[in-house]
Chain A
Amino acid sequence: MSAAASPGEAPGPMIRVEDVTIGYGERIVMSGVSFEVRRGEVFVILGGSGCGKSSLLKNLIGLQKPMKGRILVGGRDVAAAEGDERQALLRSFGVMYQSGALFGSLTVHENVRLPLDEFTDLSLRQRDVLAHTRLKMVGLGHAGRRMPSELSGGMKKRAAIARALALDPPLVFLDEPSAGLDPVTSAGLDALILDLARNFGITFVVVTHELLSIFAIADRCVMLDASRKTLVAEGKPRTLADSSEDQAVLRFFRREAEGAQTDRSQPK
């Protein structure tokens, strides 16, 4: 089913990136980037460290304006939106930041309840129930009373996902959801993302370089390359890994250092 609403209701792709150039001041991080994110898919932005994945994400969520080109979310230009339109657009998607970005002065429960407090006219009991339900969904039903500083890295990320989902957004951005997590916790997060995507029709844009996660969750992905400063591949991860003709893409998926054989489990 599709429980998603606004900008999920607008026709066309969920996100359209049109010939975008991104940079800071004079320095160009990437240019000529174009791709589309379809409704209901789990879309992964991947690439090595320092290739501009997080910069691209900042542009997608409207924290930074592209130097050139347009980014449309739900058919609306993120950079051009101002005032109430911008607020409405920002509320229509959830974002999980790399560090979790939970508010340190609020309990975990209050963190998750905050968007409901601010943007809905639900009663306190309803908001409490919804916040607790979100925390249960990410496996943190027991941790609502704790302060963010008392949570482990993985718990912070899960709490941040619960907060990103609080307003039932049709689109959720996740920045490095599994970085720094153990494989079991990381697999749990992957399962949660898939579950939410399949059952609620939520579109996920995930920035990551964790290969296992990419294969587990991605319907499609784009790969950025630091040296060429642009997008170098787009497609299903398995297809790219098996049949890409781009050496950088193959090296990434095969975890090969340039010119070196690093897999010690392989017989020589």
Chain B
Amino acid sequence: MPASATGIEVGKAQDGGAFVSLTGALDVRTVGAARRDLVVKLAGVLTEPLSVDASGLDSADVSGMVVLWELANGLVVPGVRATISGLRPELEAILATYPSPDEVEAAISSPAESAGIHSLGRGALSIVADVRAMVEFVGALTSALVAGLRRPRAMRWPEVLRVVEKAGVDAFPLVSFVGLLVGLIIAFEAAQPLKQLGAEVFVADAIGIIVIRELGPLITAIVIAGRSGPALAAELGMMKVNEELSALETMGLDPLRFLVVQRVVAGTLLAPVLTLYSVALGVAGGCIVMGMLGYPFAVTWAHLQGAVHPADLLVGTTKGVVFGTLVAGLACLRGLQAGDGPAAVGEAATSAVVSGIVSVFTADALFAVLTYVLKI
């Protein structure tokens, strides 16, 4: 329906200044136009002293009154503060509720950004605090794990199986897809340069070593960190937001023993299985490419047997165990560290992915150094 407009009349007052007379409605729908109209009409008029007669206003609301507030504070004609008269008491009361311009400024301006050195210090401190939290968590988790293994009956195995199913079994399609493609890609990429050297048949050797020792465990860990890590962190984060963790604590149940141990055990058990599965598919992908290059399966198999040693499988599986424990443990830590509110759950999930991937690559680098030194 059409809004009744604000009537604005501007003229010269007897005292040599200017007057503004307002009539009609001054509300949320008319205020924008009224403000523009006022500026146009006041332009070129001698405006000091400026008086405003608001007795003709039929209706007004808080939004509409902002123009009167601007007039009174010298914000329409810069520096000229108007005297407002004729307001009905209830409108007078609204105007009195308005803050001063300085008050608004103080209420919304953000505190001054601190100098770079301060943020550097704060950043360093937060890293130290994070490392400290991780060390404490590892300690508490180890103690809870040992306690859990001493009393396996108290382990809540159904919960472990549930997590294995959610984080492991349900991840099989993705692991299959990624594992097979990794084998295919490596084989194709290796075939080209090896062909130039007349050593195409050694693609099988390369696949065996690269997939079993390195890419199989790494890709599987990344899949778990990206797919299951955030789910674990979000689940625990949500429990924290919903005060379920507080409820456990007040019941005398340690969340670490009751929730985290099961998830870490599940991660530790499922990662090597998924790793072996992914390795098998990667090798299968390599065999497919070898077949396409014209090598019979027996030749490929013989090369694989020659290149891959039991130690390689041991290294790959051990990596799986370590990566699985790291990803699950860190995801649980991030979930427990979640702040308040739904946004914190999202942050915990993101943080779980980041810490999971960083820790997996760091551990992989350590493995590389260790296996080099130990000549495994």
Contact = CB atoms under 8 A, between A and B. Distances in A.
The reply to whether chain A is a binding partner of chain B is yes
Interface of A: 1-6, 9-10, 104-105, 109, 116, 120-123, 125-126, 128-130, 132-137, 141-142, 144-145, 148-149, 165, 167-168, 199-200
Return the 3 tightest CB-CB contacts between A and B, nearest first.
Answer: A168-B61, A121-B32, A149-B341
A109 B107 CA distance: 9
Interface in B89-143: 90-91, 93-94, 97-99, 101, 103-104, 107-108, 110
A15 B178 CA distance: 59
Nearest to B99: A132
Contacts of A199: 90, 93-94
Contacts of A168: 27-28, 61-64
A132 B343 contact: no
B1 to A, nearest CB: 6
A145 to B, nearest CB: 7
A128 B59 contact: no
Contacts, number: 101
Contacts of B1: 6, 9-10
A3 B27 contact: yes
Contacts of B342: 104
Interface string B33-70: 00100000000000000000000000111111010011
Nearest to A169: B28
A10 B344 CA distance: 45
B62 A104 contact: no
Most chain A CB within 10 A, of B25, B94, B339, is at B94
B79 to A, nearest CB: 16
B46 to A, nearest CB: 25
Contacts of B32: 120-122
A144 B107 contact: yes
B3 interface: yes
B108 A109 contact: yes
B31 interface: yes
Given A129-B99, A132-B99, A3 B75 contact: no
Given A126-B66, A126-B70, A132 B339 contact: no
A105 B108 contact: no
21 contacts: A1-B88, A3-B61, A5-B25, A6-B1, A6-B29, A9-B1, A10-B1, A104-B341, A104-B343, A116-B63, A120-B32, A122-B31, A129-B99, A130-B63, A130-B66, A132-B104, A132-B107, A141-B99, A148-B341, A149-B340, A167-B63
Contact of A144 (B66, B108, B343): B108
B107 A141 contact: yes
Most chain A CB within 10 A, of B61, B97, B103, B110, is at B61
A118 B340 CA distance: 28
Contacts of A137: 62, 97
A136 B343 CA distance: 27
Given A3-B27, A6-B3, A120-B28, A129 B59 contact: no
B339 A149 contact: yes
B172 to A, nearest CB: 36
Nearest to A3: B61
A196 B132 CA distance: 53
B98 A133 contact: yes
A18 B60 CA distance: 32
Contacts of B59: 1-3, 5
A133 B70 CA distance: 13
Contacts of B29: 5-6
Contacts of B61: 3-5, 168, 200
B31 to A, nearest CB: 7
A126 B64 CA distance: 10
Contacts of B75: 125
A168 B27 CA distance: 8
Contact of A133 (B25, B97, B101, B341): B97
Contacts of A104: 341-343
Contacts of B108: 109, 128, 132, 144-145
B326 to A, nearest CB: 30
Interface string B280-295: 0000000000000000
Nearest to A116: B63
B35 to A, nearest CB: 8
Given A135-B107, A136-B97, 13 more contacts: A3-B60, A5-B27, A5-B59, A109-B107, A109-B108, A121-B32, A125-B104, A128-B104, A133-B99, A137-B97, A144-B108, A168-B64, A199-B90
B27 A129 contact: no
Contact of A130 (B62, B88, B110, B343): B62
B88 to A, nearest CB: 6
A145 B107 contact: yes
A178 to B, nearest CB: 22
A141 B98 CA distance: 11
A72 B315 CA distance: 72
A209 to B, nearest CB: 24
Contacts of A123: 35
Contacts of B98: 129, 133
A167 B28 contact: yes
Most chain B CB within 10 A, of A123, A126, A145, A148, is at A126
Contacts of B31: 120, 122, 126
B139 to A, nearest CB: 30
A105 B343 contact: yes
Contacts of A120: 28, 31-32, 63
Contact of A129 (B35, B60, B69): B69
Nearest to B29: A5
